[in-house]
């Protein structure tokens, strides 16, 4: 049930296809279901972990798009526009999950990652080493290549783009990521930070060709255009 709720939330938070970057009505539906479930099974830490994750991520909705509906990525968002009521609700849910004890599950770990971002009032204050450690734990539980890709981003932020690129290149041969647009997107960003602009542009264009979301495609093409000589 938790997986289904989070799938609904994710489709609302980042639509996989179509003209819209987000579908807020799905986010609200998933939040409502998560909150109800937390009342029905108050002693289940993973339920509170999922609620924490969704509350904190939902807090960013207003800051995730510009005036024309264009996407704004996390590190470029105006954090004053985040909904701090939702942030605080999420942090309380995470505290409740922690108080119930036991090893944190996948949703509690993701909630803890979201909390690291929420506690940083400026992007440069983000505790990236902590996030990288949490992703290492999450990868150990899930075995997910997508989690490993997220870990690569955290490693790059914490220890430099070379470190992140090394892991991304290892993931390039992963069959499940063959058509996953965020792999070349991440690789393009890291190559750009290393000054390898031609390679970076090609990777961002490949990412744009793979995504089925029109807003995200335009964002990727625009990032590629900024690297033009």
| pLDDT tens-digit series, residues 135-169 | 999 999 999 999 999 999 999 999 999 999 999 99
Residue 51 has pLDDT above 80, yes or no: yes
Whole-number percent of the chain with pLDDT over 90: 92
Topology of the domain comprising 131-223: 1.25.40
Query: How does residue 69 score in pLDDT terms, banded at 50, 70 and 90?
Result: confident
Residue 229 has pLDDT above 70, yes or no: no
Condensed to tens digits (0 to 9), the pLDDT of residues 83-140 reads 999 999 999 999 999 999 999 999 999 999 999 999 999 999 999 999 999 999 999 9
Residues 6+ apart with CB under 8 A from 175: none
Q: Are 71 and 98 in contact (CB under 8 A)?
A: no
The Cα 183–Cα 168 span in angstroms is 7
Residue ranges of the chain that CATH labels 1.25.40.10: 131-223
């Amino acid at each position: 049930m938790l997986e289904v709720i989070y799938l609904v939330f994710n489709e609302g938070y980042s639509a996989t296809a179509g003209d819209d970057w987000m579908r807020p009505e799905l986010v609200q539906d998933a939040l409502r279901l998560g909150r109800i479930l937390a009342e029905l099974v108050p002693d289940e830490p993973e339920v509170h972990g999922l609620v924490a994750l969704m509350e904190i991520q939902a807090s960013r909705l207003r800051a995730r798009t510009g005036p024309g509906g264009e996407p704004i990525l996390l590190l470029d968002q105006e954090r004053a526009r985040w909904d701090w009521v939702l942030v605080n609700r999420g942090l309380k849910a995470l505290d409740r999950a922690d108080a119930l004890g036991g090893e944190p599950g996948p949703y509690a770990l993701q909630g803890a990652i979201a909390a690291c971002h929420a506690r940083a009032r400026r992007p440069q204050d983000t505790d990236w080493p902590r996030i990288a450690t949490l992703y290492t734990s999450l990868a150990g539980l899930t075995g997910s290549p997508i989690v490993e890709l997220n870990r690569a981003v955290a490693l790059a932020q914490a220890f430099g783009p070379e470190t992140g690129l090394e892991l991304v290149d290892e993931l390039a041969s992963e069959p499940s990521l063959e058509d996953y647009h965020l792999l070349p997107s991440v690789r393009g960003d890291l190559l750009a930070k290393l000054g390898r602009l031609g390679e970076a542009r090609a990777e961002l264009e490949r990412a744009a060709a793979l995504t089925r979301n029109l807003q995200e495609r335009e964002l990727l093409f625009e990032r590629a255009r900024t690297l033009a000589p």
